[in-house]
Amino acid sequence: MTTTAHTRADFQTDQEVRWCPGCGDYTILASVQNFLATLDRPREEFVFISGIGCSSRFPYYMNTYGMHSIHGRAPAVASGISVTRPDLSVWVITGDGDALSIGGNHLIHALRRNVNLKILLFNNQIYGLTKGQYSPTSEPGKRTKSSPAGSIDHPFNPVSLALGAEATFVARTLDMDRNHTTEILEAAYEHEGAAFIEIYQNCNVFNDKAFIQLTGKEERVHNRINLEHGKPITFGPDDEKAVILDGAEAKIVDRASVDASRILIHDETRPDPTVAFALSRLSHGPYGPTPLGIFRRVKRPTYEAQLEYQVAAAKAKQGEGDLAALIRSYGTWTVDADGNTHESNGSSSNGAGSNGQGR
């Protein structure tokens, strides 16, 4: 097998990267480019599809194939590419507004179908490109140009949404934690099927420090719950906090207050998403103790594999098929210069088929 050695520069284009100085998108872009450079795979086998929004500029800056598509429709465009070209690695770049507002249905159906896509949702909890309106993930009471008295909307929890859509891979990471982001990207790349990654991404212009409780030097040691497969879920400066299951609910307790056997062991491969969903409800956003990492990673046949099987089975049973024969199988008619139609049985009529209707 021929290997292809790359550096990050190989995945950079000659386009000026046009995000606001200090935007978290820069770090995510660098993380993705650095990660792809570690893979022994030609650049031509990667495709990046985006919708509309700040994050959706991403394909311009990736020296791969790609498309800046329609608002909310990136999963639909990407699904078509992945189904027709299963040999490619197809990535969707989207934001909380693009994916969860106008694109909500496209997102959940791509996930439930298990189309082989890697979906990166940049969540900055604001509409940045249109200058600071509240988004589907903005917290209640958010004062913006479109909600001067405070938003009254209840926000989405993207991880809960993905789990509810039966996604086979669901994870969350942070823009500024490159090592963690790279680990998640690698796991998503290796996953066969729809991989959904929520990336908390700072918008320093319209929603600065929205994730300070997870990124601040003093705050993060108290609030980051790092999910590691096969390990007890504990956190805090001295691991003094733990997560247990109380019925179907995940709860945070003082570690010293419970027997060690009650501490939840994280199992990302659990077929039933119930426990993963319970973990996703520990926080409804980046406020206080918040889980980061892989919530769920299970195996299920991909949409592409099942479609390929159906096509192969049909060919084996009926042969390659003849499109022209199929079109003519229920009769045909022609229209002469006078507007009369002539059917294959030789009958004719004025302007319509013999039954008074065109076919």
In the chain, domain spans: 8-228+301-305, 326-359
Q: In terms of CATH architecture, what is 8-228+301-305?
A: 3-Layer(aba) Sandwich (3.40)
Residue 249's alpha-carbon distances to 142, 159, 264, 277, in angstroms, are 28, 16, 11, 9
CA-based Rg of the chain, rounded to a whole angstrom?
Answer: 25
Q: Which residues pair with 174 in a beta bridge?
A: 200
Per-residue pLDDT of the chain (359 residues; tens, 9 = 90+): 455 689 999 999 999 999 999 999 999 999 999 999 999 999 999 999 999 999 999 999 999 999 999 999 999 999 999 999 999 999 999 999 999 999 999 999 999 999 999 999 999 999 999 889 999 999 999 999 899 999 999 999 999 999 999 999 999 999 999 999 999 999 999 999 999 999 999 999 999 999 999 999 999 999 999 999 999 999 999 999 999 999 999 999 999 999 999 999 999 999 999 999 999 999 988 999 999 999 999 999 999 999 999 988 888 887 777 777 777 777 777 888 888 887 765 444 554 444 444 44
Task: Quickly count helices (H) and strands (E) in the chain.
Answer: 11, 14
Provide the residue type at 242 as one letter.
A
Q: Which residues fall within 8 angstroms of residue 357, CB to CB, at 6 or more apart?
A: none
For residue 122, give the nearest of 31, 213, 37 by alpha carbon: 31
List the structure tokens of 259. 């027997």
pTM: 0.88
d(CA 295, CA 278): 10
- Environment class of 327 (CB within 10 Å of its CB; exposed 0-12, middle 13-18, buried 19+): exposed
